Structure 1
Amino acid sequence: MKLIDLSRELHHKAQRLPNHPTIEVYPFSTHDEKRVVDGYEFSSATMVLHMGDHGGTHVDAPVHFDETPGALTIDQMPLETFFTEALCLDLTHVPDKTDITIAHLEAAEKAAGVSIKPKDTVLLYTGFYKRAAGTEGYITDFPGLTKESATWLGAKGITAFAVESVSPGRPGRNNFEVHHVCRDMGFTHYEGVINMDKVVGKGRFRFLAMPLKIRGGTGSPVRAVAILED
C-alpha cells in the first residue's frame, strides 16, 4: 500500500479566495519560554491557526451552496462521503481560462481506461496548481467545469469530484451554477487538491479526506490522501 499526499500546505497568508478569511499561522508559545512547575523546568511550543472553513485543501458541505432548511453541515455529513473509490482524469490538455466540457470528460475517461462508477470521487487533473500557485492568476485563470459538465458527472452517481483550483467552475456564473448542480444532484466537491500527477494513470484507488468536526460548518479543511495498492 502506498499513500500519496494530495493536500496543500497551510501556512501564514496562504492563497485563498478574497471573499474568505485570511489564513493566519503563527507561534503562540515557543521553547524559548521556560516554565517551572514544582521545581521542574520545561517548555512547550504551540501555534495559532486562524482561517475560514474553506481554506487550503477543503471540502464543501451542502449548506454552503444550499439554502434549503435542513441542508447538511459538515459535522452532519456521513463519514462514508470522505472515504471512497476514486480515479483521476487527465485534463492537462485543457487550456487555462477555458471551460471543461462534457467532451473533455468523456475523452479523459476513455483515455484513463477505467470507468466512473457510482459513489466514486473523481479527481480532475489539469496541472494548473504547478503552473500558477503563488501567482495572481491562481485565483482566476484556471480551467473549470460548467453546469453541463458538472451535470454529466452527477449523472454518474458520484459522491464527489476534486479540483486543483480555488473553485470548481470558472469565476462568475459558471461557478455558482456548478455549486447548484452539486446541490440539486446530491454530491459535493473538494477544492485545492494537488499532486494529482502522482495518481493520474494509476487506474482505480481509494481516496480519503476527513474533515474537521466543525459544528454547523459550511465546509472544512481536509488532509486528502490517495491510497494505492502496490
Structure 2
Amino acid sequence: MPLIDLSRDITHKMPRLPNHPMVIISDFTTHAEKREVDGYVFSSAVTSLNMGDHSGTHVDAPRHFDERPGAAGIDEMPLENFFTEAVCLDLSHKPLKSDISIEDLQAAEQAAGVEIRRGDTVLIHMDHYRRTWGTEGYITDFPGLTKASATWLGEKGIIMFGVEAASPGRPGRSNFEVHHVCRDLGFTHMEGLVNLDKLVGKGRFRFIGFPLKIKGGTGSPIRAVAWLED
C-alpha cells in the first residue's frame, strides 16, 4: 500500500500570502521544566501553534469564498469529500506566471491516459514548488487556472482540485474568479501541495486529506496523502 505524502512541513514563519496570519511556533513547555506529583518527577513538552486556518497545505471551505448565509464551514463538509478517487495532470511544462487553459487540461488528461470522473479529486502538477521554493516567487509566480479552465473542471462534477501554489488562479482578478467558480459550481480546492511529480503517470489512485474539525472554519490544514495501488 504505497503512500505518497503530499503535504508541506508547517514551520515557524513559513511563507504565506500577505493577507493571511503568520505561522508562529514556539515551546509552551519543555523537558527542562520538571513536575512532581506524589513524589513522582516527570516532564512533558508542549508546542504552541498560532496560525490561520489556511496555513500550509490546506483546503478551502465554501465559507471562505461564498459570502451567502448558510455557506458550509470546514466542520460541515462531508468527510467523504476528503477520501476520493483521484487523478494527477502534468502541467509541469507551463511557464511560470502563465495561465492554464482548457486545452492544457484536455491535453494533460489525454497524456495521462485517464478520464476525469464525477466525484474525483484532480491534482495539478505545475513543478512550481521545485522551481520557486525558497524565493519570493513562490507566492506570486506560479501558473494558474482561469475562470474558463476552472469551469471546465467544475462541470465535470469533481469534488475538488489541488495545486502546489498559494492560490488556484494567478494573483489578481483571475484568482478571485476561480474562487467564485468554485462557489457557483459547488466544488472546492486545495493549495500548498508537494510531491505531485511522484503521481505523474500513475493513473488513478486514492486521495486522502482530512481537515481539522474547526467549528465554523473557513478552511483547514490537511495531511494530504495519495494511496497508490500495489
Instruction: Indicate the TM-score class for this superposition, using the shorter chain for normalisation.
Output: over 0.9
Distance in 1, Cα, partners of 2:25 & 2:204: 36
Distance in 2, Cα, partners of 1:89 & 1:202: 10
Counterpart residue number, 1:223:
223
Counterpart residue number, 1:132:
132
Letter of the structure 2 residue corresponding to residue 138 of structure 1: Y
Provide Cα deviations, 1:121-176, integer angstroms capped at 9, x if missing partner: 00000110111112111010000000000000011110000000000000000000
Give the CA deviation at 1:61. Answer: 0.3
Letter of the structure 2 residue corresponding to residue 105 of structure 1: L
Distance in 1, Cα, partners of 2:126 & 2:146: 15
Distance in 1, Cα, partners of 2:227 & 2:195: 13
Provide Cα deviations, 1:52-98, integer angstroms capped at 9, x if missing partner: 00000000000100011101000001111111000100001110000
Q: How many residues of Structure 1 are paired with residues of Structure 2 in the alignment?
A: 230
Counterpart residue number, 1:113:
113
Give the CA deviation at 1:189. Answer: 0.2
Give the CA deviation at 1:222. Answer: 0.3
Counterpart residue number, 2:144:
144
State the SS of the aligned residue for 1:47. Answer: strand
State the SS of the aligned residue for 1:117. Answer: coil
State the SS of the aligned residue for 2:10. Answer: coil
Counterpart residue number, 1:45:
45
Letter of the structure 1 residue corresponding to residue 179 of structure 2: H
Counterpart residue number, 1:162:
162
Any stretches of 5+ residues in structure 2 without a counterpart? none
Letter of the structure 2 residue corresponding to residue 178 of structure 1: V
Distance in 2, Cα, partners of 1:225 & 1:152: 25
Letter of the structure 2 residue corresponding to residue 65 of structure 1: F
Counterpart residue number, 2:99:
99
State the SS of the aligned residue for 1:182. Answer: helix
Output the TM-score relative to the length of structure 1.
0.99
Q: How does 1:206-217 map to 2 (within 5 A)?
A: 206-217=206-217
Distance in 2, Cα, partners of 1:150 & 1:225: 23
Counterpart residue number, 1:54:
54
Q: How does 1:20-31 map to 2 (within 5 A)?
A: 20-31=20-31
State the percentage of identical aligned residues.
70
Give the CA deviation at 1:5. Answer: 0.5
Distance in 2, Cα, partners of 1:79 & 1:226: 16
Distance in 2, Cα, partners of 1:176 & 1:45: 42
Counterpart residue number, 2:65:
65
